Amino acid sequence: MVPSLQGKLTPNAPLAPLVWFKSGGTADWLFEPKDVADLQDFLANLAPDIPVMALGLGSNLIVRDGGVPGVVIRLGKAFAKVERVDEVTLNCGGGASGILVSSTARDNAIAGLEFLRSIPGTVGGFVRMNGGAYGREVKDVLIDCDIVIRSGEIATMPLSELGYTYRHSDLVDGCIVVAARFRGQPGDPQAIQTEMDRISAAREASQPLRSKTGGSTFKNPEGARAWELVDKAGCRGLAVGGAQVSEKHTNFLINTGAATSADIEKLGEEVRTRVKAHSGVDLEWEIKRIGRT
């Protein structure tokens, strides 16, 4: 592929171990760049017809059983740094987890980023999809982000150019979010920790965090809650193969053991069908589904 790689390039790489559902096929290629310059060089030298996608912590994702064509790019430790810029701003690598961002904010007495503690993913993922929880979204705290586009060029995108709506941005397919700046406000570390503990306890009590799941499955429709629509349509505990609608939180699908990705996706579509028949609402997938069936 590219003769001067510094990162790690793996052909036919199994993706199931890297995603929360623990299901799915292989990537034609998995590339783990050494740093931003290595990523730029790789993309600049990659044939333009080869598709590219980023993989973070593997939440919010169904990798289909036929695998993923092209190159999957996984940002490792070099992209997981979080540093204070000023009294209320953090510069965060695209591979940093929401837990690391919120904890670093606490350590630097920066409030307002506690909700990121509850988003099961990396900065790159939740910046791309305007991730949110507990009444806040990325758009409420983001200043700008750095992206490497498919040609290998790097650009900084301010919040105003991202076209954020609910769980959506206008970032183009194939671009990789390598860093972002988040702004909070001055706060007390103890109060920040208390809020993080509250959020953590609320998630533990209401979500199947110890199961193989992908996170929230469907977007909340305008004026409604997805879990409630799923529950009222009689889907709590519904199963297809090894996949099941969580008994604990009906907007979560779980792999009970040996589910295929086809099982999980088929179950999600069955839920959508039943909700449509019961309430007339077309549920939209929040979980991204990628690859060959």
Helices (H), the chain: 36-45, 98-107, 123-128, 189-206, 226-232, 261-279
Contacting residues for 282 by C-beta, under 8 A, at least 6 apart: 221, 272, 276
Q: Which positions are catalytic?
A: 167, 216, 286
Q: How far is CA 223 from CA 26, 107, 160, 247, 288, in A?
A: 39, 37, 26, 23, 23
Q: 250 to each of 42, 132, 231, 254, how far by Cα in Å? A: 41, 18, 6, 10
CA dist., res. 93 & res. 165, Å (int): 23
DSSP state of 189: H
Give the number of other CB atoms < 10 A from CB of residue 286.
19
DSSP β-ladder status, 26-32 and 68-74: parallel
Closest CA to 83 of 180, 208, 199: 180
The H or E element that residue 8 is part of is strand 8-14
Q: φ, ψ for residue 223 (rounded to 5)?
A: 75, 15
Contact predicate 62/24, CB 8 Å: yes
Taking CA atoms, 39 is separated from 5, 54, 95, 213, 291, in Å, by 9, 11, 13, 30, 22
Rounded CA-CA distance 214/286 in Å is 10
